[in-house]
Chain A
Amino acid sequence: MTRKPVLVLWSFVLAGGLLAACEDSFIDPFANDEKYYTLFGYLDESKNFQPGSLHSVRVVPIARTPQDITSTFDPNALIDAKVVSIDLDTGQEVRWAHTLQRLADGTYGHVFQARLFVAAGATYRLEVRRSDGIVARADTRVPITTSVTPVAQEPVLTNGAMRQEVLLPGVRSLWDVDIVYSIGDSICFQGTPFNVAYGRVGTATDAGWRLTVNLTDDIRELEQRLGTTDWRLCSIGIRTRIMDSAWAPPGGEFDPVTLALPASLSNVENGYGYFGSVGLLQTTWPFSADNGRLLGH
């Protein structure tokens, strides 16, 4: 018998051992994926009508050690960043001012603020520029609330409860719905609005945001609030803040466990976080006298 197969095996193993021994055992914990700043903030169209109010964005430099982010206890903390917003339709650029804000827990945060008129339908780019030329940016298109015309289905009476399905066409995400009931005298000459808070209800569909108004429960609540049943329901409306179409969390829920993952809801290039925009939607739709009578009003 020959020793050749044994020698071949030895050679393989020795070569493998040497190869492996030369390999580096260093571990690089960083992805080196060019993430420089985390941004949180939004443009609010409704501030156009609030003189003196500012738009704000919080800017956090992404650090390589956890100790660096604890520097927010320093009231003189510095940040290497300049922030500008650019209206991509007009090219108008606005420089945002840096402030070191004392936050609710006593720490300090780098907040940049600007006063600007936010145009519905316009796209704004926020850029955070570092002195070495690094730029993190995020784009947001301000929702056009005036173009949203609710499509209210005929109310349905089931088991003594009247409900109405409402579609807000084109809306992908919204915040805190108030259903606004206009209550008046027998001829509805001058209706008085009463709000019923719904919170963030409904779901996003391809056609838009769908939600259900529970008329019977709301009317009973209003009766209790007003202490009388002697009034007429003149119209129904909605008051809600519509968020830009990308400001939609995965699964539709603002769940901290999911959103803590940096990439789960982010529109920031070269960074994390979200810079969005909101607009206020206030609109009504008619309510038939027949349905009002079914509700006792």
Chain B
Amino acid sequence: MFRITGYFSIALLCILPFALCTKNGLAQPSLVRGFVTDTATEQSLQGATVVLRNDAGAFFGAATDGDGYFILNRIPAGAYTFQISFIGFVPYETALTLGAGEARQLDVAMTARQTELDELVVEAEIETGVSTVTAGLESIAPAQIERVPMPGVTGDLASYLQTVPGVTVQGDQGGQFFVRGGSLDQNIAYLDGMPVYMPFHVLSFYSAFPEEIINNADVYTGGFGARHGTRISSVMDVRARNGNKQNLAGSLSIAPFLSTGRVELPLVKDRVSFLGSVRQSLVEQIMPNVLGTKLPYHFGDQFGKIHAFINPNHSFSITALNTFDRGKLGETKKTSLGEVDSNVPDDSSEVAWHNTAFGGRYTFLSDALPILAEASASYSRMSNEIGPREERDRTAGIESIDGRLDLTYFLRRGEVRAGGLFRTSTLSYRLGGQFQGTLDIGKNDLREITGYAEYDAPLAGGRVRMTPGVHLYHLPDRAELWIDPRFRVSIQPGRDPRNLQLNAAWGLYHQAIVGLNDERDIGNLFTAWVPVPEDGNIPSSMHAILGAKYRVRAGVSVAAEAFYKDFRHLNVPIFSVLPTFTTTLQEADGQALGIDARIDLRDRPFWLGSVFDGYISYAISKVEYETAAITYTPGHDRRHQLNALLHAQKGELGITMQLAYGTGFPFTQSSGFDIWLVLTPDVDVTTEPGQERIAYAAPFQGKQPAYQRVDVWLERRLERRRTVTTLRAGVLNLFNRSNLFYFDLFTFKRVDQLPLVPTIGFKVELR
């Protein structure tokens, strides 16, 4: 890591993208480029293999990116065979003759096919070449999300993430995700380039990202490349679908937990589309009648996107998102000492948060140069509140405006990517109410500028892919610049791309923003955002990841990844037993390390002619923080985690069983209750009353009980022409296990996660 102070850094950030363009823009070779889409849905296909070959044995290949875009560059003139293949689609092939210096645009719509099982498996594994294996990256397609059932009929990225090794979830309530040792504030989520600051709903099955709006989601659990910054643990980059430009499509689902509606239609046929989604929870109204107990959660979201192809070289989209969550946690009617008090309002423990984001994205394909440019701008706002609705005890918010430019320059071998981000944020909080005593109000502005460049280089005939890069992080208000190197490599040691694949990633990361949680309480859903204090060090981390994937046989694969994250200068609230939410910070260093492993079975024959899909994943990890005074394992350190999903399908009928198990989180126990005073030589202990307190023991030495849940689902899916009808029934928490959600150390009141919940849902989809 290098650090440069002064405004020289700004000049460097501005010049970098142009310098790259200039350097690479010296020649105009022949090229073939275009977009690959799905004929039925009009959605772009990421990861399709595009090949150009001739009789003389010349071979040029590429994979489509998140927009379905590909480019084959610096091709000699001549006659070629042009092929595109993608799992589940009819391969596309055509003859192509390229003239000298010609730039050919070929947009291809591929058709899904019904295929023989074995053929599909083999094809799928060929597709999973070294170009798609990236350390620390889980690239998620909607079809994968759909595999994970949930209470409701439409899938959600949050449910899928719960099955990803290294992603730790508190349980089925809480909406908090921790990724490979990082805390909540060290993760960032984007939807079409817009930051979404609290993307998960209060019930952890749901997020702001329903499966129906997702085109693809890249979840970097660590070791992310040079493009991403401003956070030091993980990045979730979700791209929304563009909507159908051919005909009206949509869906409607009704389920007790969440009912949904989606519509997509062409506004201008073949040119402009609209995609809209609305979701609304009904659990608060329905569940008391079903279970006889309250589930006081109210949440939902609205999403809309307009996408336009201006011409083959230009496209434009506008995306908007709104989410809301409200829920009550634990005991109500509670005083600061935990005593029940009828004067305390019923909703005293209510927590709420809202996200609002909108933005635009413009994609430009140069005629003169093999460059793809994306410019985007967005506004995002999040507010978080806790306490009675009339007057919240605490409020906090974050509001930001982003401007971003990304350039991809396609070389004969590989590509160069460069760009940057400008973000200006306002962070505010008001901490007061019954727990605070004094009102604490803060409002801070933060400006961040990032720049990056990386070279994605295929070597050794494509069996090695190396991506060195550098990320620049500049804070104008501190006049400092951090230059963070990043490096990723993927290797296919053998000749057969279906067998062993190795990958690694390494990088340095910085972030200037701190999300303050009450570290004493894992059930706390309130986060106050502040910039790192002016005289404090900027938190940083180093990630190192090593991974391997091995195909044991057709339809059976194993994968494992080891990771290490070294955190420096973390800002954590000081430990205190006073019932205040403190903004006084202390520095901590930390380490997170672990191993994730996963066995995947796909399309295996099962009993009675059914077909089986499934996986089992296991993660072991350890997180440790060290302050000047103590070393401790923070509240999100889950040592062991096991997830499994078993699915059998026969015709229209499918049955799924899902298991989630995680060892308990650390928490701070107490020695009991006593009275304390600040003892000085001025204190007369015969008159000074002191103050009651809970005598907390050493921080985070206790362990909560393990979390375990087994769900079973039965699904029937009927496809008739353009209409798909799905009926899903299931049982959440089959063993009715009492999984701890919240424990009040004052009153010993225990609040558990969801009990055994039967649920049923119905969905009609027009394709």
Interface check A158, CB cutoff 8 A: no
Interface check A235, CB cutoff 8 A: no
A66 lies within 8 A of B681 (CB): no
The answer to whether A69 and B576 touch (CB under 8 A), given A56-B685, A104-B687, A104-B688, is no
B646 lies within 8 A of A260 (CB): no
Interface check B748, CB cutoff 8 A: yes
Interface residues of B in 693-728 (CB under 8 A from A): 693-698, 701-702, 704-706, 708, 710
Interface check A51, CB cutoff 8 A: no
Scoring B residues 659 to 671 as 1 if CB is less than 8 Å from chain A, else 0, what string do you get?
1010000000111
B339 contact set on A, CB distance < 8 A: 66
The answer to whether A260 and B693 touch (CB under 8 A), given A13-B646, A63-B673, is yes
State A29–B737 Cα separation when bound (angstroms): 20
A62 lies within 8 A of B582 (CB): no
B686 lies within 8 A of A261 (CB): no
Interface residues of A in 1-49 (CB under 8 A from B): 1, 3, 5-6, 9-10, 12-13, 16-17, 20-21, 23-31, 33, 35, 38, 40-42, 44
A66 lies within 8 A of B606 (CB): no
Scoring A residues 51 to 66 as 1 if CB is less than 8 Å from chain B, else 0, what string do you get?
0000011101111111
Interface check B672, CB cutoff 8 A: yes
The answer to whether A254 and B678 touch (CB under 8 A), given A27-B705, A260-B577, is yes
B576 lies within 8 A of A72 (CB): no
- B712 CB to closest chain A CB (Å) equals 11
Interface check A203, CB cutoff 8 A: no
B689 lies within 8 A of A44 (CB): no
Interface check A257, CB cutoff 8 A: yes
Interface check A259, CB cutoff 8 A: yes
Residue of A nearest to B613 (CB): A6
B692 lies within 8 A of A66 (CB): yes
Residue of B nearest to A34 (CB): B671
Scoring B residues 600 to 633 as 1 if CB is less than 8 Å from chain A, else 0, what string do you get?
0100111100001011100000000000010000
State A12–B599 Cα separation when bound (angstroms): 11
Size of the B side of the interface (Cβ < 8 Å), in residues, is 78
Interface residues of B in 305-344 (CB under 8 A from A): 337-339
Interface check B575, CB cutoff 8 A: yes
- A50 CB to closest chain B CB (Å) equals 14
Interface residues of B in 576-603 (CB under 8 A from A): 576-578, 580, 582, 584, 599, 601
B682 lies within 8 A of A176 (CB): yes
Interface check A109, CB cutoff 8 A: yes
B686 contact set on A, CB distance < 8 A: 56, 58, 101, 103, 109, 111, 113
Interface residues of B in 66-88 (CB under 8 A from A): none
- A145 CB to closest chain B CB (Å) equals 13
Chain A CB count within 10 A is highest, among B337, B577, B644, B674, for: B674
- B337 CB to closest chain A CB (Å) equals 6
A60 lies within 8 A of B674 (CB): yes
The answer to whether A40 and B604 touch (CB under 8 A), given A12-B644, A257-B580, is no
Instruction: Identify A261's interface contact among B577, B683, B748, CB under 8 A.
Output: B577
Interface check A258, CB cutoff 8 A: yes
State A103–B578 Cα separation when bound (angstroms): 22
A10 lies within 8 A of B605 (CB): no
Instruction: Identify B702's interface contact among A3, A31, A58, A64, CB under 8 A.
Output: A31
B737 lies within 8 A of A104 (CB): no
State A30–B696 Cα separation when bound (angstroms): 9
B679 lies within 8 A of A65 (CB): no
A3 lies within 8 A of B606 (CB): yes
Interface check A237, CB cutoff 8 A: no
- A201 CB to closest chain B CB (Å) equals 14
Interface check B675, CB cutoff 8 A: yes
A16 contact set on B, CB distance < 8 A: 642, 644, 659, 661
A276 lies within 8 A of B674 (CB): no
Scoring A residues 145 to 159 as 1 if CB is less than 8 Å from chain B, else 0, what string do you get?
000000000000000
B577 lies within 8 A of A276 (CB): no
A263 contact set on B, CB distance < 8 A: 697-698
A256 lies within 8 A of B669 (CB): no
A176 contact set on B, CB distance < 8 A: 681-682
State A257–B573 Cα separation when bound (angstroms): 11
Interface check B59, CB cutoff 8 A: no
A10 contact set on B, CB distance < 8 A: 646
Interface check A250, CB cutoff 8 A: yes
Interface check B269, CB cutoff 8 A: no
Instruction: Identify A3's interface contact among B604, B682, B701, CB under 8 A.
Output: B604
The answer to whether A23 and B685 touch (CB under 8 A), given A58-B690, A60-B674, is no
State A109–B629 Cα separation when bound (angstroms): 32
Residue of A nearest to B648 (CB): A6
State A293–B599 Cα separation when bound (angstroms): 88
B672 lies within 8 A of A30 (CB): yes
A29 contact set on B, CB distance < 8 A: 669-670, 702, 743, 745, 748
State A263–B696 Cα separation when bound (angstroms): 8
B578 lies within 8 A of A31 (CB): no
State A176–B675 Cα separation when bound (angstroms): 25
Interface check A252, CB cutoff 8 A: no
Residue of B nearest to A107 (CB): B689
State A21–B693 Cα separation when bound (angstroms): 36
State A13–B643 Cα separation when bound (angstroms): 9
Instruction: Identify B669's interface contact among A30, A66, A250, CB under 8 A.
Output: A30
Instruction: Identify B670's interface contact among A31, A42, A69, CB under 8 A.
Output: A31
State A84–B244 Cα separation when bound (angstroms): 85
- A31 CB to closest chain B CB (Å) equals 3
Interface check B680, CB cutoff 8 A: yes
A276 lies within 8 A of B673 (CB): no
Interface check A166, CB cutoff 8 A: no
B738 contact set on A, CB distance < 8 A: 25
The answer to whether A278 and B689 touch (CB under 8 A), given A26-B705, A257-B576, A272-B695, is no
Instruction: Identify B679's interface contact among A26, A72, A274, CB under 8 A.
Output: A274
Interface check B555, CB cutoff 8 A: yes
Chain A CB count within 10 A is highest, among B576, B580, B681, B686, for: B681
Instruction: Identify B604's interface contact among A6, A41, A60, CB under 8 A.
Output: A6
A13 contact set on B, CB distance < 8 A: 616, 644, 646, 657, 659
Closest 6 CB pairs of A and B: A31-B697, A20-B708, A31-B669, A35-B671, A58-B685, A62-B672
Interface residues of B (CB under 8 A from A): 337-339, 552, 554-556, 574-578, 580, 582, 584, 599, 601, 604-607, 612, 614-616, 629, 642, 644, 646, 657, 659, 661, 669-690, 692-698, 701-702, 704-706, 708, 710, 735, 737-740, 743, 745-746, 748, 750
- Other A-B contacts than A56-B685, A60-B690, A257-B578, 4 sampled, CB-CB below 8 A, are A13-B616, A24-B705, A113-B686, A272-B671
**Listed A/B pairs (28) with beta-carbon separation below 8 Å:** A9-B614, A9-B615, A9-B644, A13-B659, A20-B706, A20-B737, A23-B706, A26-B705, A27-B750, A29-B748, A31-B697, A33-B698, A41-B685, A42-B679, A61-B674, A62-B671, A103-B689, A104-B687, A105-B689, A107-B689, A109-B685, A109-B689, A113-B686, A250-B629, A257-B574, A259-B678, A272-B671, A273-B679
